[in-house]
Amino acid sequence: MGILLNEESRIVVQGITGFQAGVQTWQMLDAGTRVVAGVTPGRGGEWVMDGKVPVFASVRMAVAATGADVSVIFVPSHFAQDAIFEAIDAGVKLIVCVTEGIPVHDMLQVRHYLDRQDVVLIGPNSPGVMTPGESYAGVIPANIAIKGGVGIVSRPGSLMYEVLNVLKRDGVGVSTCVGIGSDPVKCTGYVEILKLFENDPHTEKVVLLGEIGGIEEEEAAEYISEMTKPVIGYIAGKTAPVGRRMGHLGAIIEEDVGTAQGKIDALQRSGVQIARHPEEIPQLLTR
């Protein structure tokens, strides 16, 4: 079962006729995910994925015709805000926004609108959500995880793949993994996902992956002190210099705010065991 996604989930891919979306949709289909529709304005009526998936001109039409309840967004950043609003208004229950580089003002508006809606938006810049053996939405490499009792929530994307990979190698199974994305203005943070894991009967332990910049790991630490389930953590960026932007907007240590050590201290105070490097996580989980 896991959280957010399960074998019943019916997925619509927004921007399905794009190159990347096509490659990733094949991966989702190969993993047994029920991709029931695609959306590209102006391309309604076509069939893609060797005739397996119908394309609609709007999300509303796709939902009406196929009962899709999850949308994955691959639409380029210029048009992504519009695509998110469209998905919200079409009434899907979960939106996974893979698109990176969406202007922060666009997301401020989305976040404000979303507060009044009954929908979960993961991302933007999310690698996706995967409930192994059941369903996945996004760009997480297929066959990278086995079913089990460990919930994973991560701000970094490819770092989560590394961790899934070592967990699989060591035979540790995953209930659901969620890549919340590193953008500073997102709609679902660590805390919302940790709450879902805390209440999910299939999740026994949780892994939190974080990185320098911002205050999200510190906020997570506050909630973790109330959790009953054990949490293992890893924070990237111990050697990152102060004041230099490490890639995306989120990863910068400003004066003393956002350091790896500050985050590690906060998490440890809440009882989180910290792994020294990603490959140590399976050991800490099985201890």
Partner 1 sequence: MRLYEYQSKLILAKYGIPIPRGRVTSTASEARQIADELGGKVVVKSQVLTSGRGKAGGILLAKNSRKAQQFVTQLLDMEIRGYPVRRVLVDEAVQIADAWYVAVCIDRKMRAPVLLASSLKNNSNGDEMEALLTLPINPLLGIKDYQIRDIAANIGLPEKFQKQFIKIVHGLWHAFFRMDATLIEIKPLVVTDDGRLLALDALMIVDDNASFRHPEFSEYWDLGLAPRPEVEARKHGLDYVKLKGEIGCMVNGAGLMMAVMDMIDQFGGQPANFLDVGGGAAPEKVAAGFRLLLSDDDVKAILVNIFGGLTSCDDVAEGILIALQERKLRVPIVVRMEGMKAGEARKKLEDAHLVLADTLMGAVQKTIAYSTGGWNGDLA
- Sketch the per residue contact string, 31 through 70, with partner 1: x for CB under 8 A, - otherwise: ----------------------------------------
Shortest Å, Cβ 229 to partner 1? 23
Whether 248 sits among the annotated catalytic residues: the reply is: yes
Residues 77-96 that bind partner 1 (CB under 8 A): 77-78
Looking at the Cβ atoms of 61 and 142, the one nearer to partner 1 is 142
Looking at the Cβ atoms of 77 and 273, the one nearer to partner 1 is 77
Q: How far apart are CA 196 and CA 176, in angstroms?
A: 10
- How many of the chain's residues bind partner 1 (CB under 8 A)? 64
Scan for tokens 């996604």, then name that residue. Answer: 5
The catalytic position among 78, 112, 202, 248 is 248
CB atoms within 10 A of CB 149: 18
User: Residue 287's Cα: distance from chain center in Å?
Assistant: 27
Scan for tokens 């997301």, then name that residue. Answer: 107
Q: Strand 70-73 to strand 11-14: parallel, antiparallel, or no bridges (unpaired)?
A: parallel
CA distances from 246 to 170, 233, 236, 252, 260 (A): 31, 21, 11, 6, 13
Scan for tokens 């979303």, then name that residue. Answer: 114
Give the SS3 label for residue 46: coil
- Sketch the per residue contact string, 127 through 166, with partner 1: x for CB under 8 A, - otherwise: xx---------xxxx--x---------xxxxxx-xx--x-
Give the binding range for partner 1 (CB under 8 A) out of 28-36, 89-97, 101-109, 170-178.
101-109
Query: Phi-psi category of 226—alpha, beta or left, where left has phi over 0 and alpha has psi -120 to 50?
Result: alpha
- Contact footprint for partner 1 (CB under 8 A): 20, 23-24, 77-78, 98, 100-105, 108-109, 111-113, 127-128, 138-141, 144, 154-159, 161-162, 165, 182, 184-187, 209, 211-212, 214-216, 219, 234, 236-241, 244-249, 251, 260, 276-279
